[in-house]
Amino acid sequence: MRALILFFSLLLLSACDSAPSSTTDSAEVPEQIAVKFFEALLVNNDLKTAQKYTVPTLGRVLQSFTSAKAASRTLLNMKFDEVTITIEDTNKSVREFYTDKADVMLIFTGTYDGGKRVDMRMVKMVALKGKWLISEIKPDPFARAGV
């Protein structure tokens, strides 16, 4: 009887998992992928590396550009000589373990032609085949035109 209780106790303990498993690799969170994408475009001027972090449709759009500078200037309306990319997480809601979509807000602080520039971008991300990929890049919500 004692052995039976011990057996079932061990069975119950071994069935418990310490953390819920997610559909994606926890080492590559959406925020890191978004930063890597923009670093490839704006810092390293590497269009091929940037394409690795996008869904196929956005990757094809990027492929139509001849350089990373042209893509960032034309597609994203972003020009920097030097840039620092930070993740804006003050209003970040807790992401579910099993979700396959995420919104990441990034802040770009840098210089262009000797002047200081600050831009923001909302990046829509999806998890495909266990990898986080960028599906859409929203324009700066605080940008002013005609000023």
DSSP 54: B
Give the global pTM: 0.75
**What is the pLDDT, as a whole number, of residue 91?**
58
Strand order across the beta sheet in which 115-128 lies:
82-88, 101-112, 115-128, 131-138
**What is the pLDDT, as a whole number, of residue 24?**
44
Per residue in 126-144, pLDDT (tens digit) is: 999 989 999 999 988 777 6
**What is the pLDDT, as a whole number, of residue 5?**
66
**What is the pLDDT, as a whole number, of residue 8?**
57
Per residue in 79-102, pLDDT (tens digit) is: 899 999 999 877 555 554 458 898
Residue 125 burial class via C-beta count within 10 angstroms: exposed 0-12, middle 13-18, buried 19 and up: buried
Domain-wise residue ranges, the chain = 22-90+98-138
**What is the pLDDT, as a whole number, of residue 143?**
72
Does 11 have pLDDT greater than 70? no
Q: Does 3.10.450.50 match the CATH number of domain 22-90+98-138?
A: yes
- pLDDT category of residue 21 using cuts at 50, 70 and 90: very low
Per residue in 26-84, pLDDT (tens digit) is: 457 899 999 999 999 999 999 999 999 999 999 999 999 999 999 998 988 888 999 99
Does 19 have pLDDT greater than 80? no
HSE (CB half, 13 Å, CA atoms) of 142?
A: 9
Give the Cα separation of 78 and 90 in Å (integer): 23
Give the Cα separation of 110 and 120 in Å (integer): 12
